[in-house]
Structure 1
């Protein structure tokens, strides 16, 4: 194994750097130092504050021997990952407005903020259709369920994002619209016939390719109709080399989904999955596990002929091409004050009000939080955004465990429930439903009306089957909590 071959293989690794509120990026420092010494091709950033992210991205680029791809999942604006950046509603909420220019502006704003922080690769948009309420992953992340319309929206989003110098990433090829289990727990299988998959599920990806999308992410899902081996798409030469590269003519960057997920590691190590993913056609290997183990496995595979040297060189060239494309420095447009103010206005605009009108709030507003997602691992926004926004507007809003005589106004129940990675279910827990019912009974005993706020895909709060005044806020992100708080105060006494 030559030193050059080792350096080439290292460039195809994309480790994940995670920020923590307590220690920032300090805990990730050993991984960062190791990755830079090996010469990886980029990083995915998860969490952080704008200034610290900007400083880290600059440091990474300066210390690297080659231009890096700095990625982040920013489906809902830069604020989805980075504190004090602009958060935006989910894609489904924006597209529900029927205004494609709002979608373009959201993509532009996200890309502009990302560039100012040194992030040059947005791992979005989701190109999967919203077909099944039983799907544990998609929900409001999707642009809709009409394949042709979603294709048009995908192309618009990609064009706006990449015009700002940030790579877009169409995911999750060939589409996870039909899964009913979670790759964060197991390998899902989609048994849909090939002709249906090609007609519907693949259509948004064809539109993305036609629109010049810089990159695409693979799905950790098995499609027996597309590959009888039943391997997940990430590890399938049939799907990546024949279908995607040969038939669909995609020749840009192909990145695996995280190689540490159970969907691809139940019967193999992450390092073994890295070899199979590169052999199948992936160019960049996201979250490949322990870096030395992954690099060692790739070296062995290249030495023993499992990996074709030309296949590796193709991936090295593609990665470098797009890292160089994204590397021109600071001649890109920065977000203006009007841009960021528009983000908050958009959050207000997408709120949905159902059933009876929301009654005027009292001078004191009591709100109980019912969290259906508190058993799901992962970093999420705190649950204070609604009351913070109401207090800013002059209302004495309080989080309580139950209604009290301190307020005679409507009692607010904030239900946090959404489709989340690792949650593995699409229905409310019985104890969640019981908690909401108990709070309603307690409020009615005090002769107080009730207002429900759904902080997640609207399908979750509708599972309650209630007719109380309801605000549907689409997600539990802070930007949507704050919009819901303002929405509660729209009706004046």
Structure 2
């Protein structure tokens, strides 16, 4: 019984060393026989080279996963990026969402990634939520359910495993489970709204679910869903009839460990019904603790055998290489078109100045261990459209205020609001582009001409320029090459 197969360590791309900075993780993981890896970032060709190596050297089929909520281009440079789920939900065309799932899966498989941590099945029920926001398809459970099911169907057609998250719903929290353990004090009846998209995903054939490091007293007040047998075995398995894989959210997150050890929390998660442990920092310590728990009876052998059986079956279904392309012009053009369609003119008549343009960048995405998306695509797309950028030009405001892990807050900060007020006081007709949820328009009332773009990634920066200039087809090569 190889308990190492219950683990999925992380491998991160570094601009200077590529994946070699994680060579020790790679070698030790393969030696131990882990169940797979989760990948963050990288040049598409380098990703394919790495996954080829991992699949070739492993003694068993691997699950290679990645967070691709916004298309394969969200992580892998050269693949096609997509708008946030909220933009797709606002367009409310299930065919578009299904195609988004299929495209994401097809490109992922072409790169050797066979397990996609999407779609987000949370409902955007709490505007003060610091971690969900535009990651969700919307605020209406029935609408989110339709799009979750559509994305799952598309992902299956594209050949990858799907993963609905974060069960039983992270949409009501006002805390970020990366940095704390939030609680949702909704009644069991109210939580049916949160569960509706997960039920739809299960009905559509979703392959796996990711747990939320969130406490739901109405379901089990003893701990977060990740560590709760009443939620995972009782609600998910028995009541909802789900038989696929259950993976933890990252076990490095405070919502799971709450100051304790990841090894001890991992034993609790497996006992509660989780099948895979995502993103351990100390593989050997987790493995040792799990083995000890099996030997002393804290973890029944049948529970581990069940988990290992599900892992092996899932990995077998997506084993083997796939001959497909990524980053095709046709796919990028389609992605840009839907990104442009999703933009919302929230106020006035957003437009470019007639002459030279000065970009007033308002950065509101600080916080956390990882930098925000680069802000290179917006000026690059303007120049590609023939716009002259100069320090003495008329201002256009680019306000970046995205939902980000570890940021710890939603909304636009007071400092960023004041910066926009100062600019619009001097230039009342200046166009403000809000790279965030359109509802945040209320935070910047002095912006007379306001365009909302859902998120700050490259494709949305490029889409804003395409919308302002009417040039929807001439900037296809930019999106996806500048995000990371």
- 2:111 aligns with 117
Runs of 4+ deviating beyond 4 Å: 331-336
Distance 2:111 2:185 in 1: 42
- 1:225-258 per-residue CA deviation (whole Å, 9 max, x = no partner) reads 10132x1000011111111111111111000000
Match of 2:462 in 1: 482
Query: Separation in 2 of the partners of 1:489 and 1:454?
Result: 17
Summarize the alignment of residues 27-38 of structure 1 with structure 2, pairs less than 5 Å apart. Answer: 27-38=21-32
The two structures have a TM-score, normalised by structure 1, of 0.92
Contact 1:451 1:469 in 2 (8 A): yes
Matched residue, 1:174 = 168
- Deviation readout 1:133-186 (Å, 9 max, x if unpaired): 011111111112222232222111101101111000011111111111111111
Cα 1:466–1:441, aligned 2, differ >3 Å: closer, same or farther?
A: closer
1:401 alignment partner in structure 2: none
Which one of 460, 466, 491 corresponds to residue 440 of structure 2?
Answer: 460
> RMSD between aligned alpha carbons?
1.6
Which is worse superposed, 96-105 or 123-132? 96-105
Shift of 1:390: 0.8
Aligned to 1:425: 409
Residue 91 (str. 1) matches residue 85 (str. 2): yes
Q: Which has the larger radius of gyration?
A: 1
Asked if the contact 2:14/2:42 (under 8 Å) is kept, the reply is yes
CA contact (8 A) 2:78 2:327 kept: no
Structure 1 residue 185 corresponds to structure 2 residue 179: yes
Distance in 1 (CA, whole Å) between partners of 2:214 and 2:379 is 41
Please say if residues 361 and 488 of structure 1, whose CA atoms lie closer than 8 Å, have aligned partners that are also in contact. Answer: no
Q: Distance in 2 between matches of 1:333 and 1:22?
A: 26
Structure 2 residue 46 is matched with structure 1 residue 48: no
Segment of structure 1 superposing worse, 434-443 or 112-121: 434-443
Aligned to 1:62: 56
Give the corresponding residue for 2:148: 154
Q: CA offsets per residue over residues 111-154 of structure 1, 9 Å max, x none?
A: 11111100111100010111110111111111122222322221
Alpha carbons of 1:250 and 1:359: their partners in 2 closer, same or farther (altered >3 Å)?
closer
* Cα distance in structure 2, aligned partners of 1:342 and 1:396: 27
Residue 255 of structure 1: aligned partner = 247
What residue number does 1:435 align with?
A: 419
Q: Pick from 128, 131, 137: which aligns with 1:137?
A: 131
Q: Which residue does 2:378 correspond to in 1?
A: 386
8 A Cα contact 2:168 2:194, kept in partner: yes
Task: Give the whole-Å Cα distance in 1 for the aligned partners of 2:426 and 2:20.
Answer: 46
Work out which of the residue numbers 389, 392, 395 in structure 2 matches 1:397. 389
Greater CA drift, 188-197 or 377-386: 377-386
- Select between 357-366 and 127-136 the one with higher mean Cα deviation: 357-366
CA deviation string 1:33-62 (max 9, x = no partner): 111110000110011110000000110011
- Give per-residue Cα distances to partners, 1:192-232, cap 9 Å, x unaligned: 111221x2111111111111110000000001110132x10
SS in structure 2 of the partner of residue 163 of structure 1: helix
1:12 matched to 2:6: yes
Corresponding residue for 1:217?
210
Report the TM-score when normalising by structure 2.
0.94
Aligned to 1:473: 453
**Of 58, 65, 75, which residue of structure 2 is paired with 1:81?**
75
Q: Of 334, 354, 377, which residue of structure 1 is paired with 2:369?
A: 377
Q: 1:419 to 1:335 in 2, by over 3 A?
A: closer
How far apart in 2 are the matches of 1:27 and 1:111?
27
Find the aligned partners of 1:335 and 1:482 in 2 and give their Cα distance. Answer: 16
Q: In structure 1, how many angstroms separate the alpha carbons of the residues matched to 2:29 and 2:164?
A: 26
Q: How many residues align?
A: 471
Report SS of the residue matched to 2:50: helix
Deviations 1:60-85 (A, max 9, x none): 01111100001011111111111121
